[in-house]
């Protein structure tokens, strides 16, 4: 009897991206953000409540 195993598929977690065009941010730097678009307001709210990470690009 031959045992056949299916390959394991590892899914990467979804990490929200917040775009800041024409902005340079260095480690440890603090910048004020004015978030006015509803989709980004909701994303930040979700991150503060549930998500451990937010990536600023």
The full set of domain ranges for the chain reads 17-56
Structure tokens at 45: 């709210």
36 band by pLDDT with thresholds 50, 70 and 90: very high
Count Cα atoms within 13 angstroms, Cβ side, for 26: 1
| For residues 15-32, average pLDDT | 87
Q: How far apart are CA 51 and CA 57, in angstroms?
A: 17
> What are the backbone angles phi and psi of residue 34, rounded to the nearest 5°?
-105, 105
**Model pLDDT, residue 44:** 85
pTM for this model (two decimals): 0.57
Is the pLDDT score of 12 beyond 70?
Answer: no
């Amino acid at each position: 009897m031959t045992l056949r195993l299916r390959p394991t598929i590892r899914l990467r977690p979804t990490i929200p991206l917040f775009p800041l065009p024409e902005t340079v941010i260095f480690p440890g730097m603090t910048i004020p953000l004015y978030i006015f678009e509803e989709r980004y307001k909701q994303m930040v709210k979700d991150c503060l409540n549930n998500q451990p990470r937010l990536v600023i690009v």
